[in-house]
Amino acid sequence: MLKARRIPTTLWYTHRATSRQLRAAVRVVDTVVTASPESYPLLPPARAIGHGIDTRMFVPSAAHGEGPFRVLTVGRVALVKRLEVVIDAAARLAGGLGPSGLEMRIVGPTDSWHEAYADGLRRQADAAGIGEVVVFAGPRSASEVVAEYQAADAVVSLQSESFDKAPLEAMSCGVPLVTSNPAYAELLRAAGGPPPVPDGDAAAAAETLHRLAVMPMADRSQLGAALRQQIVDHHSLDRLADLLVNDVLPRKPSTSSG
């Protein structure tokens, strides 16, 4: 219908998987955009224009509470998220900080396909002696997720194949990121943050988390501010909207007779 009316179309696609529907869509749209080069599986590559993070909603907390070093992961509880590596890293970190010096929060839903995986994660935490340290908080509303970020000292994302929004939301809240995904490497480098750890390396993740845990609060706050600025500059909702309207979206051909 849009083609018949000569209305140009733009496809937004951000996923590591491909499908016949995607291949069919690419043939009929005028422009394809994605969040990052790693977020689009076909050739020729789509134009990467970043994510659109609401930096007015995802903001740092005015005050940070006292208590144990709080590590957060946000997203559905699923095998692709590599949460078994996260729990392994938390167990290693607890060995350095002590169980009372650490809280690990896993925020996100568990669908029926992954209930056995979630049960295995709980058994893993218990076996490692951190069953009381690891909290499966379940799904949260958008405002509750903001509060989770604001209360966190570090966010961990060890999924290496997808450019998720959750780490960007965390950085927008001024929270340092520990990741194994090279898609975040340039943002972290520009802000002076820790580089991505090797994929599946729980020891390296724990070591990076420990460096953040013992970092002076003023230095960690300065790092958080630099990370937030990277999101404002490169992944804000305002920037994405401006790009789409003024630079990306194809224009409908003029029907004037000149």
- Tell whether the model's pLDDT for residue 252 goes beyond 80: no
- At position 74, the amino acid (one-letter code) is V
Q: What is the pTM of this model?
A: 0.87
pLDDT band at 216 (very low <50, low <70, confident <90, very high): very high
pLDDT at 164 over 90: no
Mean pLDDT of 243-249: 79
Q: What are phi and psi of 73, to 5 degrees?
A: -130, 135
Could you give the residue range(s) of every CATH 3.40.50.2000 domain in the chain? 69-234
d(Cα 16, Cα 162) in Å, to the nearest integer? 6
Residue-wise pLDDT for 47-75, tens only, equals 988 899 999 999 998 766 678 999 999 99
- Cβ count within 10 A of residue 97: 18
Q: What is the pLDDT of residues 131-162, one digit of tens each?
A: 999 999 999 999 999 999 999 999 999 987 77
- pLDDT reported for residue 81: 92
- Give the architecture-level CATH label for domain 69-234: 3-Layer(aba) Sandwich (3.40)
Q: Which tens digits make up the pLDDT trace of 124-138?
A: 999 999 999 999 999
